[in-house]
Amino acid sequence: MTARSLFEKVWDDHQVVAESADAPAVLYIDLHLIHEVTTPEAFTVLKSRGLALRRPDLTLATLDHSTPTVPIRSLADLDGLVGKAAANQIRVMIDNSHDAGVRMLGFDSDQRGIVHVIGPELGITQPGMTIVCGDSHTSTHGAFGALGFGIGTTEVGHVLATQCLLQRKPKTLAVTVNGQLNRGVTAKDIILGIIGKIGVSGGTGHVIEYRGSAISALSMDERMTICNMSIEGGARAGMIAPDDTTFEYLAGRPMAPAGAAWDAAVRRWRTLPSDPDARFDREVVLDVAELAPMITFGTNPGMVIPIDAPVPADTGNTSFRKSLQYMGVDAGKPMLGRAVDVVFIGSCTNARLSDLRQAASIFAGRRVSDGVRVMIVPGSQAVKKQAEAEGLDRIFTAAGAQWRESGCSMCLGMNGDTVGRGELCVSTSNRNFEGRQGIGARTVLASPLTAAAAAVTGRISDPRELLAS
C-alpha cells in the first residue's frame, strides 16, 4: 500500500467523490463552526431556496468577531457598544441559530469565546476530522491532526445545506522544526520565523505538516499558535500529527468521547500520523536553537526580523518602500527602542491561558509605561475564569492594563476595540495589514512576552532582558 501523509489519510477518509480534471472533489465535513459575521447571507440564501440545514448537530455557533469586550446587561446595549451594523449581525446570528436548531454559545453561556479557542476547549475539535468555518484561521484546529480550513460565505451556505464542500486537493509541504527553544523564545516566534523563511506565499496551494523534535515538545496551546498562522504563509491549512500530548489535552473535555468510545477513538487516532516513508511535495527545515524573539516591521507577516536585528535594506522594491512609509520605519535601523502607543494581548493566536501566564510573568511587579494603552482579552469565558482563579487578572490590572471579556476584539477591530490613526500597536494577533486594527493603525506582531515587555517599557523591547531581571 502506498505510504500516506497525515493530510492524505484525512482527505481520503472524507472524499465522497474524487477530483477529476473537470471538477473538484466532494469532501464531507465533520464539523462546521459558525459565527456572526460570515453566516447571515448564507442563512438568507438557504431560506430563500426553502433549504434546511443538513446536519444542525454537526454545526456549532458562537459570538466572537463583533461582540463587545465589556460586560453587557442585555441585547439592547449592543448598538451603543459596537454600533448598529455589528449589533445587527449578533441579533441575526442568535435568531438564525435558534430557528435552525443550532447550538448557540451566546452571551449567557460560560462556554462562549473565539471560535478557534472554544472548539478545542470543548473537545469537539478532534484528530482526523474535517473542520470548516467562515474564518481563515480555522487552520488552528490542525494542531489536533484535523484538516481545518477557512471558507467563504457562499461555501458556508454549501456546507449548511449539504454538509459537503467542493475542493481541489492541495499539495503537501513538510516543515521540519528541530532544536530546543531558548529562554524568551516562544511558539509565536517559531511560526513568525517560518513565515519569514518561506514568505507569505510560500505555502500557497499546500497543506503544511509541522513536524520535528521542537514541534513534538510543544504543548497543545503552542501547537495551536503554530497552526493558526499557516494561512499567513499562504497555506490552505496546517497540521500536526496527534500524539499523547493531544490525547491528554482532549481527555475528559465536555464534547470529547468517553468510556469505550474514547478508547476506540484513541486507537483510531494513533493511525493518523504520516507513514515513515510518506512523500511530500516540498520540505523546509528550521532549527529553533538559532531563533530569537521575532517582530514584524512592515505590513504583512512575512516582513519579520529577529528583535535585535535591523530592518532590511531598501532594495528599491516599491511595495517594500510603501510598507515602510506606512509603518514610519527606516530601512537599516532597528525596531528596538521604538515608542509604543498600544499593546494588545489576545486573538485566536495568543489568548489562551498559557499565553496569559507568559504575559503575567512580565507584568508582575511592574507598571504599564505612561501613555501606553494596554488591552488584554482572553480567548474565551473559560480562559477568563481560569485566569481569574489564578489571579492573573489582578496582576494585569495592578500593572494598569485593561482586563476584558472574551472576543476577537482588537485583532480586527470590528467591535469598536481599535487602534488610532498613526498609533503603533504591539499585538499578539496574526495580521499586520494596513488598517487591520483601525484606519491608519500601525501593527507590530509579536509574542505575549514581547508584547508585555513593550507595555511596561513603553517601547519595543527584548523580553529576554526583562526575564533576566
- CA-nearest of 434, 417, 421 to 376 is 417
Question: b/e per residue, 359-375, with b = 16+ CB within 10 A?
Answer: bbbbbeebebbeebbbb
- Would the pLDDT of 170 be above 80? yes
pLDDT in tens, 89-139: 999 999 999 999 999 999 999 999 999 999 999 999 999 999 999 999 999
Confidence band, pLDDT 50/70/90 cuts, at residue 441: very high
- Compute the distance between CA of residue 244 and CA of residue 37 in angstroms, rounded to an integer: 35
pLDDT in tens, 208-237: 999 999 999 999 999 999 999 999 999 999
Q: Which residues lie across from 459 on neighbouring strands? A: 339
Q: How many C-beta atoms lie closer than 10 Å to residue 60's C-beta? A: 24
Q: How many C-beta atoms lie closer than 10 Å to residue 252's C-beta? A: 10
What percentage of the chain exceeds 90 in pLDDT? Answer: 98
Identity of residue 400: G
For 236, 361, 418, 458, the CA distances from 358, given in Å and listed in that order, are 29, 5, 24, 18
- Would the pLDDT of 1 be above 90? no
pLDDT at 469: 75
- Compute the distance between CA of residue 409 and CA of residue 303 in angstroms, rounded to an integer: 24
- CA-nearest of 58, 16, 27 to 160 is 58
Q: Which CATH superfamily is domain 296-465 in?
A: Aconitase, domain 3 (3.30.499.10)
Q: How many CA atoms lie within 13 A of 212 on its CB side?
A: 20
Q: How many C-beta atoms lie closer than 10 Å to residue 206's C-beta? A: 25
Q: Give start-end residues of each CATH 3.30.499.10 domain in the chain.
A: 6-167, 296-465
Place of cell 516599491: 318
pLDDT at 299: 98
Confidence band, pLDDT 50/70/90 cuts, at residue 334: very high
pLDDT at 81: 93
Instruction: Label residue 205 left, alpha or beta by phi (over 0 means left) and psi (-120 to 50 means alpha).
Output: left
Q: Which residues lie across from 149 on neighbouring strands? A: 132
CATH 3.40.47.10 fits 6-167, yes or no: no
DSSP states of 190-239 as a string? HHHHHHHHH-TTTTTTEEEEEESHHHHTS-HHHHHHHHHGGGGGT-SEEE
Residues 6+ apart with CB under 8 A from 88: none
- Would the pLDDT of 458 be above 90? yes
Which pTM does this prediction carry? 0.97
Q: Give start-end residues of each CATH 3.40.1060.10 domain in the chain.
A: 171-241+267-287
Identity of residue 292: A
- Would the pLDDT of 174 be above 90? yes
- Would the pLDDT of 329 be above 90? yes
Average pLDDT over residues 336-364: 98
First to last CA, the chain: 57
Confidence band, pLDDT 50/70/90 cuts, at residue 292: very high
pLDDT at 306: 98
- Compute the distance between CA of residue 465 and CA of residue 461 in angstroms, rounded to an integer: 8
Q: Domain 171-241+267-287 class?
A: alpha beta
Confidence band, pLDDT 50/70/90 cuts, at residue 315: confident
Confidence band, pLDDT 50/70/90 cuts, at residue 244: very high
The β-bridge relationship of strands 304-306 and 294-296 is antiparallel
Q: What is the dihedral of CA 85, 135, 291, 373, to 10 degrees?
A: 10
pLDDT in tens, 41-61: 999 999 999 999 999 999 999
- Compute the distance between CA of residue 139 and CA of residue 233 in angstroms, rounded to an integer: 12
Q: Radius of gyration over alpha carbons of the chain, in Å?
A: 21
